[in-house]
Amino acid sequence: MSQIRKATHNLGSKNIIGEGGYGPVYKGNLGGMPVAIKLLRPHGKQGFPEYQQEVAMLSRLEHPHIVKLIGVCQESCSLVYEHLPNGTLQDRLANGLPWEDRVRILSEQRSALKYLHSRRPNAIIHADLKLTNILLDAGDVSRLGDFGTARAVHVKPLEEETIVRRTIPMGTIGELTTESDVYAFGVVIMQLLTGMDGIKIAEKVRGAAKMQSVLDTSAGPWPVVEAERLLKLALRCCSMERKQRPAITSDADWKPLDILRAKAAPASKTWKWNCFAS
């Protein structure tokens, strides 16, 4: 704990760079390396189980678009991550983001989810995908973070559906599946393409007289035909019928995103990643 205090100037308020259900997030310096330190707040919305879950998950994951866990402090239940100076995708979007960067980030995050859902024998469901849990480095390259509610679910060979029961906060029982992440990703897609908040966003997009009319003009001139196709795919992601949602692991389903990504930047700048690597 002494190292944590030293790295953050004794947990000084000037070092706080974020706040969440888990507790405050401090910017610090460990051995000359800039880091982000998430400190458990007693009696917060999240607690020791989420701390354990995040350590268990991130300690075995390695992907260019998933946040890196550098270390832990068991005494204070602190988590030490790489520092991502450009903050959350939500903040970045509010300050303006070209459509090319939005599409690239979507492609990066689909790659991260594909990696998680493709792991065997246990697929990983993130379960809390949203703009505030996508972080950006100095070059606006994205990382998926906050794995406190993630779940590893055993998948039998040739079985793509992964289901685990959990209690929803309101007290009802629901199914947490890979399709749950797909739904959340559909919302993120629509937020990045339209600039709208996530509340009833599928209804707003579905109800638009012309899909082109909901594209966020502040992002610059969209390739309209390709953007509309991606919006239609996002609406499929948000279908109330789980079986209608495209699998993140199905490259054929995600061609609209790939085509738009190719228009946004040369292929030489895209990440190549083997999602089946252990």
Residues 7 and 98 in one domain: no
How far, in Å, are 120, 167, 265 from residue 175 at the CA level? 20, 9, 38
> The domain spanning residue 225 has which CATH number?
1.10.510.10
Residues 160 and 186 in one domain: yes
Task: Give which of 193, 106, 225, 241 is closest to 201, Cα–Cα.
Answer: 193
* Residue 278 forms part of a structural domain: no
| Domain end (from 82, 97, 127) | 82
Residues 116 and 169 in one domain: yes
Q: Which pair of tokens denotes residue 68? A: 């890196």
* Residue 41 forms part of a structural domain: yes
The pTM for the full model equals 0.85
Residues 103 and 199 in one domain: yes
Residues 55 and 94 in one domain: no
* Residue 215 forms part of a structural domain: yes
| Domain end (from 51, 82, 113) | 82
Q: Which pair of tokens denotes residue 42? A: 């007693």
pLDDT given for residue 163 in this prediction:
42
* Residue 271 forms part of a structural domain: no
Cis peptide before 121 (omega within 30 of 0): yes
Catalytic-residue membership of 128 = yes
User: Distance between CA 136 and CA 89 in Å, rounded?
Assistant: 7
User: Distance between CA 90 and CA 88 in Å, rounded?
Assistant: 5
Residues 248 and 164 in one domain: yes
Q: Tell me if residue 142 falls in helix, strand or coil.
A: strand
* Residue 60 forms part of a structural domain: yes
* Residue among 101, 128, 146, 181 flagged as catalytic: 128
Residues 125 and 62 in one domain: no
Residues 94 and 161 in one domain: yes
Residues 160 and 235 in one domain: yes
How far, in Å, are 21, 64, 127, 159, 267 from residue 274 at the CA level? 33, 11, 22, 20, 16
Residues 77 and 93 in one domain: no
| Domain end (from 56, 82, 108) | 82
User: Distance between CA 254 and CA 248 in Å, rounded?
Assistant: 8
* Residue 78 forms part of a structural domain: yes
Each of the 278 residues of the chain gets a pLDDT tens digit; together they read 677 766 665 676 778 887 876 788 988 888 888 999 888 776 555 677 888 888 989 999 999 999 999 999 888 788 999 999 999 999 999 999 999 999 999 999 999 999 999 998 889 999 999 999 999 999 999 999 999 889 988 876 544 444 443 433 333 346 789 999 999 999 999 999 999 999 999 999 999 999 999 999 999 999 999 999 999 999 999 999 999 999 999 999 999 999 999 999 754 444 455 655 54
State the SS3 of 145-192. Answer: CCCCCCEEEECCCCCCCCEEEEECCCCCEEEEEHHHHHHHHHHHHHHH
Residue 47's domain comprises 2-82
Q: What is the separation, in whole angstroms, between the first and last Cα of the chain?
A: 32
* Residue 65 forms part of a structural domain: yes
Residues 41 and 78 in one domain: yes
Domain count, the chain: 2
* Residue 273 forms part of a structural domain: no
Query: Which residues does 193 contact at the CB level (< 8 Å), separation at least 6?
Result: 102, 214, 215, 216, 222, 227, 230, 231, 234
> The domain spanning residue 40 has which CATH number?
3.30.200.20
Q: Which pair of tokens denotes residue 186? A: 């559909």
Residues 111 and 230 in one domain: yes
